[in-house]
Amino acid sequence: MILVLDIGNTNMSIGVFGDDSCEAAESLVVHARFSSVDRTPDEAGLLLENLLRSHGVDAGSIDGAILCSVVPRLEAVWREGIRTYFNVKAIVVSNKLDLGMRVDIDIPDEVGADRLANAVAAAEKYGCPVVAVDLGTAINIDVVSAEGCYIGGAIAPGLSTSVQTLFSRTAKLPQVALDAPPRVIGRNTIHAIQSGIVYGYTGLVDELVERVFLELGTKTPVIATGGQAEILASNSRTITNVDQWLTLDGLRIIFRRNKSKNVL
C-alpha cells in the first residue's frame, strides 16, 4: 500500500492507496484531513499509525510513501515520522522527478509540488490540454498544453483567506457560511456577503479560465478540487468536473513512475 500526503498551508490531506487500479476513488482506502500545525516526528508518526489502525490498515502493509509540501518546515518532520514508524523513505515531489510531462516554465524550481501533482493527475485522467483549479488557501490554476507540457497558470488568494481578512478587519459584518445566496443582489447583510464571496470568486475563476482558453486557442476540460470546489463548480460556467482526489491521485501516479528509480 502507498501512503500519500499533501501538506498545505492550512490543511493537509492524507491518503492510502491499495492496488494499482487506475481508478483513484476505488483504490483510495484511507482518506483524512488535518490542520497543518507544527508537530514532532513522533507526533506525526503516531497520528498516521493511529489513523491507519482506525481504518483496519496495518502499518506493516505500507511499502511506499510520497508527499508534496508547500510548507518546508513540515516536510522534514513528516518524512522522519514516516521513516521511523513505517520504515519507508518518502519520495518528495519536485520537477526533478519523472512526472510524465515536461515543466515548460521560466523557472521550473519555483512551481509548487501540489500544482505539479494536480497537473499530472488532470492530464492522466482527463487528457490534454486540461486546466486544473485547486481551491484551497490559495486558488491555483494550472495548465497542461495539448502536447502534455505543464506551461504555468495563475495564483490568487483563496476564499477562506479573503473571508478571514474581511471578518477580522470589519467590526459589524457577521461571519457567514460559504453558501450561494438566492440572488446576486443581497437583500440582507448575510446574503450580500455570500454574494460577494461565492459569485465574486466564481467570476474570478471563470475570467481567468476564459483568458486561458483564449491563450490556448481552445476550450479544455476544467477540473476543480479543494474545499470550495463543489460550491464554485455549481455556479461556474467553465468548471466541467469536480475531483476531490485529484492531488492525492497525482501523488499516486508520480509514485508509480518513480518507485523503481533512485530518487530518495
Active site (catalytic) residues: 114
253 closest CA partner among 21, 14, 6? 21
| Cell (9 digits) for 205 | 475563476
Is the CB of residue 120 less than 8 Å from the CB of residue 4? no
CA separation for the pair 211, 216 (Å, rounded): 9
Which residues on neighbouring strands pair with residue 33, listed in sequence order?
13
Considering Cα of 201, then 202, then 207, then 210, what sign does the dihedral take?
A: positive
Of 109, 144, 110, 138, the residue nearest 250 (C-alpha): 144
* 34, β-bridge pairs: 12
DSSP 210-246: HHHHHHHTS---EEEESTTHHHHHTT-SS--EE-TTH
Q: Which of 53, 75, 68 is closest to 253 using CA atoms?
A: 68
**CA–CA separation, 24 and 15 (whole Å):** 11
